[in-house]
């Protein structure tokens, strides 16, 4: 278990009251609201997050309660305000910095990769950077090549960063609260198509530790690993396959760094088959790294080669039909499962 996970021993308490269903963006807003009320060192920085409430309305209403010193509208200068966030974190504040599209995070790689990720190590833990970088990625709605990328592999590759990609409102809230309390810099990637999705979220406080995957659907015939917006598509594929008598176990890592390898490997040892689904292009992707871990730790259990379903190695087109063709769909996942089962030794 990661150091972040050990910070939160009371995790995932069941709701004692009536269940309620809220949207993903509302769950994130609740997490920010609760943490800002709990800790005066938490503040928000980003473009259009105060008066407009953010382009995806996650921060709507927070300016009214906390004022312009804690919900700060920034200029269109990502490198500058991200650097300000790093500096504030070094002084003991807990900034939540929002980058509107993950594509724009290419402008802040020095601040994140060369400063935030390395300072704890380089100072022998004499300082830390307790900062959350909120951003959204993925394709959808025809936003074209410069606003539709899935770039998690870049941050996954950088030692010193933690990386969360929640797929449900429940996970989004619990992981955001843990991210804000963490002493590690956290890259928190949301998917633009998930903001309006709904799910059950308890009213009482709960925290989800980093480094603990969630089995969203138990099964015995094949393990399907997916995160972010590929999770709901994988669950739909699993339900379709269930009608054919194929029993799929769906595992959501929830955090890619730290990665819960044990849950994935244990599932593969049980099902003896593995399909990994990522929206990002396959080349240099997280799915390939997960596959390598499974090969190292569970090769003798595999009854068929690992299948990876990923985005095409191309910029995302503006045309909606072409955009859809570039990103894994439910039918692609179903076909990969069938291939894996058909190739059973």
Count of Cβ atoms closer than 10 Å to residue 114 Cβ: 11
Residue 179 sits in the same domain as residue 273: no
38-80 tens-digit pLDDT: 999 999 999 999 999 999 999 999 999 999 999 999 999 999 9
Q: Does 12 have pLDDT greater than 90?
A: no
84-139 tens-digit pLDDT: 999 999 999 999 999 999 999 999 999 999 999 999 999 999 999 999 999 999 99
Last residue of a domain, one of 200, 230, 258: 200
Amino acid 18: pLDDT: 64
Q: Answer yes or no: is 205 within a domain.
A: no
Last residue of a domain, one of 150, 165, 200: 200
Residue 224 sits in the same domain as residue 308: yes
Q: Answer yes or no: is 257 within a domain.
A: yes
Q: What is the mean pLDDT of residues 197-206?
A: 97
- Among 8, 98, 147, 273, which one carries the catalytic annotation? 147
Which of the two residues, 81 and 343, has the higher pLDDT score? 81
Percentage of the chain lying above the pLDDT 70 cut: 94
Residue 311 sits in the same domain as residue 232: yes
Q: Answer yes or no: is 209 within a domain.
A: no
Q: Does 7 have pLDDT greater than 80?
A: no
Residue 8 sits in the same domain as residue 144: yes
Percentage of the chain lying above the pLDDT 90 cut: 94
Q: Answer yes or no: is 100 within a domain.
A: yes
Amino acid 345: pLDDT: 65
Residue 145 sits in the same domain as residue 231: no
| 5: confidence class by pLDDT, cuts 50, 70, 90 | very low
State how many domains the chain has: 2
Q: Answer yes or no: is 208 within a domain.
A: no
Amino acid 16: pLDDT: 45
Of 309, 297, 247, 292, which is closest to residue 269 (Cα–Cα)? 297
Residue 232 sits in the same domain as residue 145: no
Last residue of a domain, one of 178, 200, 222: 200
251-308 tens-digit pLDDT: 999 999 999 999 999 999 999 999 999 999 999 999 999 999 999 999 999 999 999 9
Which residues in 170-185 are b (16+ Cβ under 10 Å) and which e?
Answer: bbbbbbbbbbbbbbbb
Q: What CATH number does residue 251 fall under?
A: 3.40.50.920
Residue 88 sits in the same domain as residue 54: yes
Q: By the 8 A CB rule, do 323 and 317 touch?
A: yes
78 given a catalytic annotation: yes
Amino acid 344: pLDDT: 78
Q: Answer yes or no: is 206 within a domain.
A: no
Supply the range of the domain harboring residue 277: 214-342
Average pLDDT of the chain to the nearest whole number: 94
- Among 47, 78, 98, 279, which one carries the catalytic annotation? 78
Q: Answer yes or no: is 154 within a domain.
A: yes
Residue 132 sits in the same domain as residue 244: no
191 given a catalytic annotation: no
Q: Which residues contact 196 (CB under 8 A, 6 or more apart)?
A: 23, 24, 25
Residue 172 sits in the same domain as residue 285: no
Q: What is the mean pLDDT of residues 306-322?
A: 97
Q: What is the mean pLDDT of residues 2-17?
A: 38
Q: What CATH number does residue 146 fall under?
A: 3.40.50.970
């Amino acid at each position: 278990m990661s150091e972040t996970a050990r910070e939160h021993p009371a995790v995932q308490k069941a709701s004692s009251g009536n269940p309620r269903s809220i949207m993903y963006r509302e769950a994130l807003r609740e997490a920010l609201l609760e943490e800002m009320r709990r800790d005066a060192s938490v503040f928000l920085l980003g473009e259009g997050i105060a008066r407009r409430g953010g382009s995806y309305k996650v921060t709507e209403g927070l300016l009214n309660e906390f004022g312009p010193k804690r919900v700060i509208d920034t200029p269109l200068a990502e490198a500058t305000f991200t650097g300000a966030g790093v500096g504030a974190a070094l002084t003991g504040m807990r900034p939540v910095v929002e980058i509107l599209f993950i594509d724009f995070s290419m402008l802040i790689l020095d601040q994140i990769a060369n400063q935030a990720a390395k300072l704890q190590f380089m100072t022998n833990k004499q300082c830390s950077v307790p900062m959350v970088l909120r951003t959204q990625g993925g394709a959808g709605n025809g936003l074209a090549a410069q606003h539709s990328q899935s770039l998690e592999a870049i941050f996954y590759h950088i030692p010193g960063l933690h990386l969360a990609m929640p797929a449900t409102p429940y996970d989004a809230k619990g992981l955001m609260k843990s991210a804000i309390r963490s002493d590690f810099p956290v890259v928190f990637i949301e998917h633009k198509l998930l903001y309006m999705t709904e799910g059950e979220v308890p009213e009482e406080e709960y925290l989800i530790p980093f480094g603990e995957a969630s089995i969203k659907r138990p099964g015995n015939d094949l393990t399907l690993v997916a995160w972010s917006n590929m999770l709901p598509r994988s669950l739909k594929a699993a339900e379709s396959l269930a009608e054919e008598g194929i029993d799929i176990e769906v595992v959501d890592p929830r955090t890619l760094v730290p990665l819960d390898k044990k849950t994935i490997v244990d599932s593969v040892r049980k099902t003896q088959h593995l399909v990994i689904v990522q929206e990002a292009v396959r080349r240099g992707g997280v799915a390939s790294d997960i596959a390598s871990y499974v090969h190292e730790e569970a090769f003798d259990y595999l009854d068929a080669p690992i299948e990876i379903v990923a985005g095409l190695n191309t910029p995302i087109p503006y045309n909606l039909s072409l955009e859809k063709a570039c990103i894994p769909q439910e039918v692609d996942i179903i076909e990969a499962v069938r291939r894996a089962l058909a190739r059973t030794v």
